[in-house]
Structure 1
Amino acid sequence: MDSLITAAARALAAGDPLSALKRVTLREDPPALALRGIAMAQLGDLERARLLLRRAARGFGPREPTARARCVLAEAEIALVSRDLAYPAEVLGAARARLAGLGDAANAAHAGALEARLLLLIGRLGEAETVLAAVDVDALPPASRPGYWLVAAGIAIRRIQAGPARAALDEARRAARASGIVALAAEVETTAHALDAPAARLIGRDGQRLLGLGEVEALIGSGTLLVDACRMAVRRGADVVTLTGRPVLFALARALAEAWPGDVPRAALVARAFRAREADESHRARLRVEIGRLRAALAPLARLDATRRGFALLPHGETPVGVLAPPVEGEHGEVLALLADGEAWSSSALALALGVSARTVQRALDALAQEAKVENFGRGPARRWLAAGVPGFPTSLLLPARISEG
């Protein structure tokens, strides 16, 4: 490798893309194209970067498999940053195995960290942790180590584990300082700020108050019966009844929890669950059916008793009851929580991360755009969405996480 290529590679590793470009900007050989692509990615021109890396990969050809695999990995990383989540899902695992087989331990470890980051984004926490555990952090290049620890922190945050999250962020800070790259240190501090922000709001018999992630963790461990409006579930410690996809049952459970230890009149339950101004006989009949379904679902945690006015929630044992809600509530909070990372997302990537249809996400984005909460640029498949200024706190508890792993 000639001296200009070596100098450009060192500049990129130090986070100085302009110095790298000065050395290779007029060259068209595959190593120079690859370095120019990485430099353009660091400068934010992601589409140009992907084109350059593809040209470099074609130029290297089958006789230089390691260089070609590195180009594929770099393109997958750009796709991940630009939230083209389908592309890296197809190639990161293969790139990791390929690079490991070629003896490139550093880039194989980097591919593993990126794969874990992708799995974290789409809420597959168990798989993300398994992949991350297989990564040799000591083999990672200095610029990749903060990202490894940020993924570890993200997994802990979504699992509501404040201690491990802070420990991982401390490691990320040390790694960012060691790399000397200012942008990495800024990314770590952004994650730390999200950890310090209110994670939820507790609604109980004594009123409402905001909770940090550590307080949420302590509350869940306290044995309190919680109607969790962030994850659409009812939980007491490790026992969880998920009501995802059952909005009527969840609305009834929340209304009953907010009134605990009192009861809720039937008319109020009808209005809350069915959004009906006045309860007629059909509404009352449907309420009886839905209360029966909720009673069966919550049987391991509590019972529902009929009263003269309506119904009351009675947890098993001497257990307090509360509602765990986002700090600021509104429709489509889970979309805003994803957009709060500051990256530009496609609607298809949001749908993949949330596990819903692209049409569902598009309706949510259209509604948020009418409220000036999101904005977009580009057209067709190239359209990307950004948060225009998320109101209140985009709580991490609204980010995708399977309830059994949350």
Structure 2
Amino acid sequence: QAGIPALAAEVDSANLILDTPAARLIARGSEHPLLLGEVERLATSTALVMDTFHHIVRRRGVVVSLGTRPVLFALARLLAQAWPADVSREALIGGAFQAKHVDESHRARLRVEIGRLRTKLKPLADVSATKQGFVLAPRKTRDVLVLARPVEEKHAAVLAFLADGEPWSSSALALALGISPRTVQRALEELARSNKVQSFGHGRARRWMTPPVPGFPTGLLLPGPLLKA
């Protein structure tokens, strides 16, 4: 109603974000995108939800955090994605331990980690042994869902911070992600080569952002009077 181009562009950009998938739902071997409102509704779902954003397993008000146990969460996710089918020992070892060649030491470690996972998940589910491997057995529900990021790739965390279209310095990204500036810089350069991010400025003034949506000018391209308005 104000007729201010800069403000209209911001509103259009916000609407675009709200209509963009915020996550993926994986269940029974299939997956589909979820909007932000659909993600919110999962909080009241009676299903067992494997939340890869926060590394937790939850069902309504019962929450089990595996944020400090990445191996246990990896095992739990593999089991949840395959549910109601089981997962072979080889697949669990390869997915959770990143082992290319499975030997008896890996099998022994898997037994130990599965035991720890059983203890952690006891309020929500059991992990039962099968002939080929293990299967997840949820309690008080017949549904198991995996809430995954919209994009899961090597530098997904960096892309997630840049998803709102705002410019970031590499040092700010490193601080937010808790990793070294050099690691962030390598990630940004790799993403730039695939045209997933772009930069402007030089030296310490250099900033990174995702490419703007066609038809919507960024704040950097809007003329001064419009920005002031």
- TM-score bin, normalised by smaller chain: 0.7 to 0.9
- Check if 1:347 corresponds to 2:179: no
Counterparts of 2:197 and 2:37 in 1: how far apart (Å)? 30
1:347: Cα distance to partner? 1.2
Contact 1:374–1:386 (CA under 8 A) maintained in structure 2: yes
Farther-moved stretch of structure 1 (371-380 vs 310-319): 371-380
Counterparts of 1:359 and 1:289 in 2: how far apart (Å)? 36
1:249: Cα distance to partner? 2.0
Aligned to 2:61: 238
1:194 to 7, 17, 24: 17
- Check if 1:185 corresponds to 2:8: yes
* SS of equivalent residue, structure 1 residue 234: strand
Counterparts of 1:319 and 1:214 in 2: how far apart (Å)? 23
Query: Could you report, residue by residue, the CA deviation over 1:292-315 in whole angstroms, capped at 9, with x for unpaired residues?
Result: 232232222212122221111111
* SS of equivalent residue, structure 2 residue 199: strand
* SS of equivalent residue, structure 1 residue 317: coil
Which one has the bigger strand percentage?
A: 2
**Runs (4+) off by over 4 Å:** none
- Give the letter for the 2:50 counterpart: V
1:315 to 128, 132, 138: 138
Aligned to 2:127: 304
Aligned to 2:85: 262
- Check if 1:212 corresponds to 2:212: no
Counterparts of 1:185 and 1:372 in 2: how far apart (Å)? 27
- Distance change >3 Å, CA 389–CA 249, structure 1 → 2: farther
List gaps (5 residues or longer) in structure 1: 1-176, 391-406
Query: Could you report, residue by residue, the CA deviation over 1:315-361 in whole angstroms, capped at 9, with x for unpaired residues?
Result: 11134101111233212222112212223210121133334443443
1:59-98 matches, cutoff 5 A = none
* SS of equivalent residue, structure 1 residue 194: helix
* SS of equivalent residue, structure 1 residue 342: coil
- Distance change >3 Å, CA 246–CA 387, structure 1 → 2: farther
1:236: Cα distance to partner? 1.6
Counterparts of 2:13 and 2:201 in 1: how far apart (Å)? 27
- Check if 1:225 corresponds to 2:48: yes
- Give the letter for the 1:290 counterpart: E
Counterparts of 1:236 and 1:221 in 2: how far apart (Å)? 8
Counterparts of 2:166 and 2:42 in 1: how far apart (Å)? 32
* SS of equivalent residue, structure 1 residue 223: coil
Contact 1:267–1:278 (CA under 8 A) maintained in structure 2: no
* SS of equivalent residue, structure 2 residue 67: coil
Contact 2:46–2:141 (CA under 8 A) maintained in structure 1: no
1:256: Cα distance to partner? 0.1
Query: Could you report, residue by residue, the CA deviation over 1:102-122 in whole angstroms, capped at 9, with x for unpaired residues?
Result: xxxxxxxxxxxxxxxxxxxxx
Aligned to 1:159: none
Counterparts of 2:181 and 2:115 in 1: how far apart (Å)? 34
Aligned to 1:385: 208
- The alignment-based identity, stated in percent, is 61
Counterparts of 2:119 and 2:203 in 1: how far apart (Å)? 46
1:261: Cα distance to partner? 1.4
List gaps (5 residues or longer) in structure 2: 214-229
Counterparts of 2:22 and 2:170 in 1: how far apart (Å)? 25
* SS of equivalent residue, structure 1 residue 277: coil
* SS of equivalent residue, structure 1 residue 343: coil
- Distance change >3 Å, CA 268–CA 206, structure 1 → 2: closer
Larger radius of gyration: 1
Contact 2:21–2:35 (CA under 8 A) maintained in structure 1: yes
Which one has the bigger helix percentage?
A: 1
- Number of residues of Structure 1 aligned to a counterpart in Structure 2: 213
Kindly indicate whether structure 1 or structure 2 has the higher relative contact order, using CA contacts under 8 Å at least 6 residues apart.
2
Counterparts of 2:182 and 2:60 in 1: how far apart (Å)? 35
- Distance change >3 Å, CA 295–CA 360, structure 1 → 2: farther
1:202: Cα distance to partner? 1.2
Contact 1:339–1:345 (CA under 8 A) maintained in structure 2: yes
1:257: Cα distance to partner? 0.4
Contact 2:50–2:147 (CA under 8 A) maintained in structure 1: yes
Query: Could you report, residue by residue, the CA deviation over 1:50-88 in whole angstroms, capped at 9, with x for unpaired residues?
Result: xxxxxxxxxxxxxxxxxxxxxxxxxxxxxxxxxxxxxxx
Contact 1:374–1:389 (CA under 8 A) maintained in structure 2: no
